[in-house]
Structure 1
Amino acid sequence: MQQRQPLDACRRFHADYVTYRMLTTYHGAAIQWVRSEAPPAIEQMRAGEVAIFKERPMLDEAPILHGSRPIAGTGETRLLSVIDPVIAD
């Protein structure tokens, strides 16, 4: 079983080193994203919306970066689902 990450583990915009990643926020502040090659314009998903990001190994072009607004110390809570594909050896 994967260990639970701290509340603000993804507070910086980033692209992961997996092939694909599906993200959805069920409760609380949802995922934010930016296009890495464009001027900074932060987009905000809403709770319940689902995004599938192609990550670094799958791209020839610059990735879309994602992150979560910090909530530690605010009293807010977040329920986030992250699904990565299983790679068979």
Structure 2
Amino acid sequence: MTATASSTTLSPIHAAMGKDISVLPRIFEDSINIAVMQRRLPADVALSATAQCQTERPWQFSWLGTPDDNLIEELRRRAPQPEAANALIDDIVSLAQAVAYLFESQTVGIRLRILTEAMCPRFHCDNLPVRLVTTYLGPGSEWLPEEAVNRDGLGAPTPDRPEIVLKPDAVQTLKAGDIALIKGSGWEGCEHSALVHRSPSLNEGQKRLLLTIDPA
């Protein structure tokens, strides 16, 4: 696998970055709230993802269950372009099985969505233990190093709430293909140090194919 460049030369101390899948278990370290496997999408997966986004209708796929043959069949049945979906499906199922194995979970919650606008444009923390995030097409999620966050600004915006971002030039961006494990406030011991992140803005006519997987 070929690594993609990160937004800055040096990674924040609470982030684990690497080219190999062995970086993902570092999410279990107390000091780490994001672990990223930096990868360039294989050409067949990128083509398969692009094919699914040719549809003009809103589309999303949700699944809660064991990542087995039933998942493969349902993905193929629901895909906008099933004849071109095999490579993408293989990648999704592999990631779902990896999440189930890593977190010793029998079931996973999967959401695959074609987005035409930012889903969560405001910086926030997820109210769950951990989530895998990867973007197959379009810009990836944006996140903040801890030194660039004012946590007093998190939550619903109000006139007296301060700005969340202390250093706008410190915003980090995941690349298409990167696989990130993100700690939420539901992770024990991470109630006040969950990763602060947001959805990227999209240009008019631009699409994003986003996959999230939660151990259930």
Same fold (TM > 0.5): yes
Q: Quick check: 1:50 aligned with 2:179?
A: yes
Q: 103, 118, 123: which one pairs with 1:8?
A: 118
Identity %: 32
- What is the 5 A alignment of 1:1-89? 2=62, 7-35=117-145, 37-39=146-148, 40=167, 41-58=170-187, 59-71=190-202, 74-86=204-216
Measured in 1, the distance between the counterparts of 2:207 and 2:125 equals 23
**TM-superposed deviation, 1:67:** 1.2
Q: Which has the higher strand share?
A: 1
1 CA distance for matches of 2:172 and 2:210? 17
Aligned counterparts of 1:5 and 1:75: Cα–Cα separation in 2: 12
SS at match of 2:182: strand
Consecutive unaligned residues in structure 1, runs of 5 or more: none
Offset of residue 61 of structure 1: 4.6
In 1, distance between residues paired with 2:123 and 2:191? Answer: 19
Q: Provide the C-alpha distance between the structure 1 equivalents of 2:114 and 2:205, rounded to a whole number of angstroms.
A: 17
For the pair shown, which has the larger CA radius of gyration, 1 or 2? 2
Over aligned residues, Cα RMSD in angstroms? 2.2
Q: Please list the CA deviations of residues 33-77 of structure 1 after superposition, one character each: whole Å capped at 9, or x if unmatched.
A: 103x41231001110001001110210552221112122x61110
Structure ranking higher in helix proportion:
2
Aligned residues: 84
Which fold has the larger relative contact order, with Cα–Cα distance below 8 Å and residues 6 or more apart in sequence? 1
